Amino acid sequence: MARKESFDKDYILKKASEYVDEYGIYDLNVRSLTKYIGCSTQPIFRLFSNMDLFKKDLKKYLHDEYEIFINQYIDKDNYLYTISYAYALFASYKPNIFHALFITSLAGSRTVKDVVNSSWNRDTIIALSKQYNISLEKAEEVYRDVRFYTHGIATQLCCKSIILSDEEIGNLIKNIINKVL
């Protein structure tokens, strides 16, 4: 009779996500993960042919967690504010995962134009244009400025160099939106 597999891909990724949430991405390697999970290296190397593929799958898994979190806050009638607010809250509530997704090399590199033209950001820009009755060009500028301002707040929250209540976070984002409009 074949032995039942205890460790599948989803389980390994879930445990890796928990590890990142607790200890951060920099200490994550096969040895630390297997110790955390309580398994040998065999399931990891069987399921992921190398660490690059493992990290690619882990990034997607972490991003899916981020999406679940963000979607709890999004109101498409006030898209720019709610997505920016949720982004900053995620940095505050899940700093190690935020760090892994948006600050480390796992995040990759993009230009400002790439950010503005990303399909997932276009929805926000189009909604912003409609909400405030401004041109798409102006909406792109507003989105860009609010996005990078919010990222600054989120980065400080992530590394705990600033302490803000959820209300203060919301007020800062509302203020920048009003200023750049």
The whole-number pLDDT of residue 106 equals: 82
Mean predicted confidence (pLDDT) in 91-102 = 97
Query: Who has greater pLDDT, 5 or 157?
Result: 157
CATH class of 7-58: mainly alpha
Contact 47, 12 (CB under 8 A): yes
Read off the pLDDT of residues 20-70 as tens digits, 9 standing for 90 and up. 999 999 989 999 999 999 998 888 988 998 888 999 999 999 999 999 999
What residue spans define the domains of the chain? 7-58, 72-180
CB 116 within 8 Å of CB 125: yes
Return mean pLDDT, the chain: 93
Find tokens 């990290």 and name the residue. Answer: 55
Token pair recorded at residue 27: 């200490």
